[in-house]
């Protein structure tokens, strides 16, 4: 659809304005529009340009969320936390099955390994029990295909396993999915929301929110290149889906109330590992007892993550040398013969996950749709991952319905099939492309290839310029911006 002018948004009193066009915001807009609400989705940048574009690109089985945060011997004496973790892990498995059913074209299936090593934090029997429990009671016909093999047999099947160091008693093998293109999931969902009646306006930053006369008044500033403008729009309700930035949206907390999220920084490094390992992955624990993985990505693998709480603005978070060194050190502990060093790193990146807070404590679960009595009609969504974006959208929509009443039946689970057109001009014209990076990274898959989209940037800049009417100076500026933004997001380590 045609990109709306900023000032035209003031002509309507919206039922709902959704702030943040990441995976959760797009899913929320899709859900609300499908239920009959007049919905506006806004973002200060492009669709899926924030945390959703810096994920681990992995669907998790949910087994890891069964792990208690207290000693194992306490499990019989703490049934409520154990039950809560089971229900959360089951919910994750249901979300996994939903995405496999609705978005098979956006997922790839891989073989993953879980090595059982001497001194592991969790015993082999408990890991096996967790996998089989999830597969038998929560998989919804999307199996994990979990099995266990002696190390010697697994090593014959996999060069990756054969290269593991240390004492291994065996290997767990399972099937899991990865997003082949997480940014496009956000775009597809946003476009589906638009088909259902939502309005999308990217590059519109929220500078003020105020409650007056039973309505929310939201001031939007135009952030697109070569344009300026400000407009105040009205809405009956708001959904704050700004991810790790939810507490930084101006006016979104009553009287400077408590924070709703704490950021957790995850760093990944991209490395080319032996060709025989291609398409295979591994999950384990680091020497610090934290999750550690080796995930396949085309001809490469990426390794990580770090687990560090950050308090600074997510815009300012960058990969640190010490974090890269930590990941390489842990990888070399797993695979001592690789002897990985900085020269083996193709690039690295980091993202900040919005971890929910509850009563002042950071919690990893569950996804929350927060309603503050002092902020009537505002819902803040926290604690979601890409794989749970549909679930988060439904939670937000139910909260809005409690405030506005129901308008229509919830939409069916299936996403309208949104295919990537082979006509680049149509993509630029109809998919809310504003900057060159929007096209390369989030409308096309070029931004995820080894060159990170650089090899086609010149060609694609001419196509975008022709459709959007860029001058030659604007085209050159877009090339410079794309290059600098690429270097900022995907750092050379």
> How is 167-194 classified by DSSP, letter by letter?
-EEEEEEEEEEEES-HHHHHHHHHHHHH
Tell me: pLDDT of 425 over 60.
yes
C-beta contacts of 478-484 below 8 A and 24+ residues apart: 478/225, 478/435, 478/436, 479/436, 481/435, 481/436, 481/437, 482/435, 482/436, 482/437, 482/440, 482/453, 482/457, 483/454, 483/457
The model's confidence at residue 175, banded by pLDDT at 50, 70 and 90, is very high
Tell me: pLDDT of 362 over 60.
no
Tell me: pLDDT of 105 over 80.
yes
Give the closest residue to 269 by CA, choosing from 244, 292, 285: 292
Please give the average per-residue pLDDT across 408-423, as a whole number: 68
- Domain holding 23, by residue range, is 6-52+183-259+357-404
| Sign of the C-alpha dihedral computed for residues 267, 271, 273 and 279 taken in this order | positive
* In-domain check, residue 351: no
Does one domain contain both 190 and 244? yes
pLDDT of residue 259: 84
pLDDT of residue 421: 56
Please give the average per-residue pLDDT across 78-93, as a whole number: 88
Q: At what angle do helices 79-102 and 124-138 cross, to 10 degrees?
A: 60
Read off the CATH number of the domain in which 364 is found.
3.50.50.60
Does one domain contain both 245 and 214? yes
Tell me: pLDDT of 404 over 60.
yes
- The predicted-structure confidence for 213-267, as pLDDT tens digits, reads as follows 999 999 999 999 988 899 999 999 999 999 999 999 999 887 767 788 889 999 9
CA distance 262 to 260: 7
Does one domain contain both 428 and 400? no
Does one domain contain both 193 and 252? yes
Does one domain contain both 196 and 249? yes
pLDDT of residue 55: 83
Residue with the bigger pLDDT between 1 and 98: it is 98
* In-domain check, residue 223: yes
pLDDT of residue 75: 86
Does one domain contain both 246 and 365? yes
pLDDT of residue 65: 79
Mean pLDDT of all residues belonging to the chain: 91
Please give the average per-residue pLDDT across 63-92, as a whole number: 85
Please give the average per-residue pLDDT across 340-354, as a whole number: 94
Residue with the bigger pLDDT between 127 and 365: it is 127
pLDDT of residue 452: 95
* In-domain check, residue 366: yes
Please give the average per-residue pLDDT across 364-374, as a whole number: 83
* In-domain check, residue 310: no
Residue with the bigger pLDDT between 125 and 199: it is 199
pLDDT of residue 422: 65
318: its two tokens: 């960058």
Strands 13-19 and 39-42: parallel
Q: Which residues pair with 233 in a beta bridge?
A: 218
Tell me: pLDDT of 6 over 80.
yes
Does one domain contain both 371 and 247? yes
Q: Match 């994920």 to its residue by tokens.
A: 55
| Sign of the C-alpha dihedral computed for residues 287, 288, 289 and 293 taken in this order | negative
CA atoms within 13 A on the CB side of 7: 3
Tell me: pLDDT of 296 over 90.
yes
* In-domain check, residue 134: no
Instruction: Find the distance separating the first CA and the last CA of the chain, reported in whole Å.
Output: 40
- Which residue, 404, 438, 461, sits at the end of a domain? 404
Q: How many domains does the chain have?
A: 2
* In-domain check, residue 296: no
pLDDT of residue 166: 83
The model's confidence at residue 351, banded by pLDDT at 50, 70 and 90, is very high
pLDDT of residue 325: 97
Q: What is the DSSP letter of 74?
A: G
* In-domain check, residue 14: yes
pLDDT of residue 285: 86
The model's confidence at residue 118, banded by pLDDT at 50, 70 and 90, is confident
Does one domain contain both 468 and 362? no
pLDDT of residue 467: 96
The model's confidence at residue 195, banded by pLDDT at 50, 70 and 90, is very high
Does one domain contain both 485 and 443? yes
* In-domain check, residue 395: yes
- Which residue, 349, 375, 404, sits at the end of a domain? 404
CA distance 490 to 486: 6
């Amino acid at each position: 659809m045609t990109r709306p002018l900023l000032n035209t948004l003031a002509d309507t009193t919206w039922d709902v304005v959704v702030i943040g066009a990441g995976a959760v915001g797009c899913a929320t807009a899709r859900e609300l529009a499908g239920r009959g609400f007049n919905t506006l989705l806004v973002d200060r940048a492009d669709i899926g340009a924030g945390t959703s574009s810096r994920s681990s690109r992995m669907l998790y089985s949910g087994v890891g969320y069964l792990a208690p945060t207290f000693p194992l011997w306490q499990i019989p004496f703490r049934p409520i936390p154990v039950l809560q973790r089971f229900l959360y892990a089951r919910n994750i498995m249901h979300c996994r099955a939903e995405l496999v059913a609705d978005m098979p074209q956006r997922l790839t299936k891989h073989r993953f390994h879980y090595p059982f090593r001497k001194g592991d934090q969790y015993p082999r029997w408990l890991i096996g029990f967790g996998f089989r429990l999830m597969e038998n009671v929560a998989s919804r016909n999307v199996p994990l295909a979990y099995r266990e093999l002696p190390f010697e047999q697994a090593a014959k099947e996999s060069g990756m396993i054969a290269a593991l160091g240390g004492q291994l008693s065996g290997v767990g093998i399972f099937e899991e999915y990865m997003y082949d293109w997480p940014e496009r999931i956000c775009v597809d969902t946003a476009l589906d929301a638009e088909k259902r009646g939502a309005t999308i306006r990217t590059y519109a930053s929220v500078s003020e929110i105020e409650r007056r006369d039973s309505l929310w008044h939201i001031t939007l500033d135009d952030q697109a290149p070569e344009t300026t403008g400000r407009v105040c729009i009205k809405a009956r309700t708001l959904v704050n889906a700004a991810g790790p930035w939810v507490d930084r949206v101006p006016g979104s907390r009553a009287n400077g109330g408590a924070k709703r999220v704490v950021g957790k920084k995850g760093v990944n490094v991209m490395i080319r590992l032996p060709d025989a390992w291609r398409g295979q992955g591994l999950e384990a624990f680091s020497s610090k007892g934290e999750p550690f993985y080796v995930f396949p990505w085309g001809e490469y693998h990426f390794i990580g993550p770090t687990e560090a709480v950050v308090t600074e603005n997510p815009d300012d978070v960058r990969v640190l040398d010490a974090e890269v060194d930590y990941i390489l050190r842990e990888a070399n502990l797993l695979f001592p013969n690789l002897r990985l060093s900085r020269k083996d790193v193709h690039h690295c990146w980091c993202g900040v996950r919005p971890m929910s807070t509850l009563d002042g404590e950071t919690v990893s679960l569950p996804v929350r749709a927060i309603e503050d009595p002092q902020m009537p009609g505002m819902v803040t969504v926290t604690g979601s991952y890409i794989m749970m974006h549909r679930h988060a959208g439904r939670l937000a929509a139910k909260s809005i319905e409690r405030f506005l009443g129901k308008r229509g039946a919830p939409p069916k689970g299936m996403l309208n099939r949104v295919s990537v057109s082979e006509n680049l001009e149509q993509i630029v014209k109809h998919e809310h492309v504003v900057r060159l990076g929007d096209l390369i990274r989030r409308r096309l898959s070029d931004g995820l290839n080894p060159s990170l989209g650089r090899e086609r940037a010149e060609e694609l800049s001419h196509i975008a310029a022709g459709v959007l009417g860029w001058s030659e100076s604007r085209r050159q500026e877009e090339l410079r911006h794309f290059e600098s933004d690429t270097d900022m997001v995907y750092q050379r380590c």
